[in-house]
Amino acid sequence: MKKVITFIILCLSFVGSTQSYITFITADSSDVWKDKAICNYGGGPTCLDVITTVYDFSGDTTINNLNYAKLFRKKQITYMSTGGSMGNCPLPNLSPRGYLGAMREAGKQVFFKLGQDAEYVIYDFNLTIGDTVPDPANDVSYSIISAIDSIDIQGIYRKRFTVESTNIPDFYIIEGIGSERGLLFSYLLSLDCAYSLECYKEENSVVYAFGNCDFNLGTEQITETATIKIYPNPIQVNQNLRIASSSNEGVYVKIWDPIGRLIYQSISTEKIIETNSITSKGIYLIQLDESSIQELVVY
């Protein structure tokens, strides 16, 4: 699957008085998110669930005298074999777009309401270092803000929060975009899944891209290089990767972790890559020589 990373990150010390707040829900509610989750349930003992979800707004609603944007969702579930035949995995399943819940923003906080449930704070952009992160999933983890800086995404500086948790690897929350683990990551959290925000766009323009930005579920294509391949994929944590290449020359390998950090960069003359830097499950990106960037799933 051809990958492009379309943003340049420039980390700066954050000074609250010099940076304007970037609203989470745009004025015309044109926001669209595409998430992916790789899960260890449903598909069987040798099949991983690959759940791709697209969220968007359409229309408004009033609940208890509060104004909300109506959040819609469409979802596709495919499967990835961890061994054996794909014939042992279920067939793909595509759920059509439908209403999911209501979302509103007030005082730099983002609230989500599902059905008759009480609304939950899913993002709080007022937090400072040491504050506890909202935990609507009640996963009994203790997550705090461990660092705050700013990043330049397409010429706009956005506040970025580093979240440190007892149960899951560290991740970022970006002002105006949300969690790099997915829009509703804190609400839908399951420790059986690895989450990633694939793409986010406003006014039909991609703002953030860490994966495939085809928002038409069911049409994504996997592209592989003809001469260089990696296997296995998916892999388990601390399992070594192998390279199949028709060339006897070294292969230039780059690996990015689920939050976009370059964690491995080397010219490999061996057929095995020791992945000591891959210490947690998630959706990584890998590039071999000048080939297209592809996903590496770690479970």
Within this chain, do residues 73 and 116 fall inside the same structural domain, yes or no? yes
Output the six-digit token pair for 228.
């260089």
One domain for residues 152 and 282:
no
**Which of the listed residues 176, 209, 242 is the one where a domain comes to its end?**
209
Do 128 and 234 lie in a common domain?
no
- pLDDT at position 87 is 59
Q: Is residue 149 part of a domain?
A: yes
How open is the CA angle 254-257-261, to the nearest 5 degrees? Answer: 80
Residue 276: domain span? 228-298
Q: pLDDT-based confidence at 201, cuts 50/70/90?
A: very high
Q: Respond yes or no on whether the N-terminal peptide bond of residue 232 is cis (omega within 30° of 0).
A: yes
21 vs 76, 108, 109, CA distance in Å? 34, 8, 12
pLDDT at site 12: 40
**Per-residue pLDDT, 89:** 78
Question: Between 130 and 250, whose confidence is greater?
Answer: 130
Average pLDDT, whole number, for the chain?
79
**Mean pLDDT, residues 235-242 taken together:** 79
Give residue 29's pLDDT. 83
Same domain flag for 119 and 264: no
The domain tally of the chain equals 2
Residue 84 sits in the same domain as residue 168: yes
pLDDT digits (tens, 9 = 90+) for 14-53: 344 457 899 999 878 889 999 988 887 666 667 788 889 9
User: What's the pLDDT tens digit per position in 242-263?
Assistant: 777 666 666 778 788 776 677 7
Residues 70 and 139 both lie in one domain = yes
pTM of the full predicted structure? Answer: 0.72
Q: Is 163 found in the same domain as 56? A: yes
Q: What is the pLDDT of residue 18?
A: 55
CA distance 289 to 41: 34
Across 128-149, average pLDDT? 82
In a domain, 262, yes or no: yes
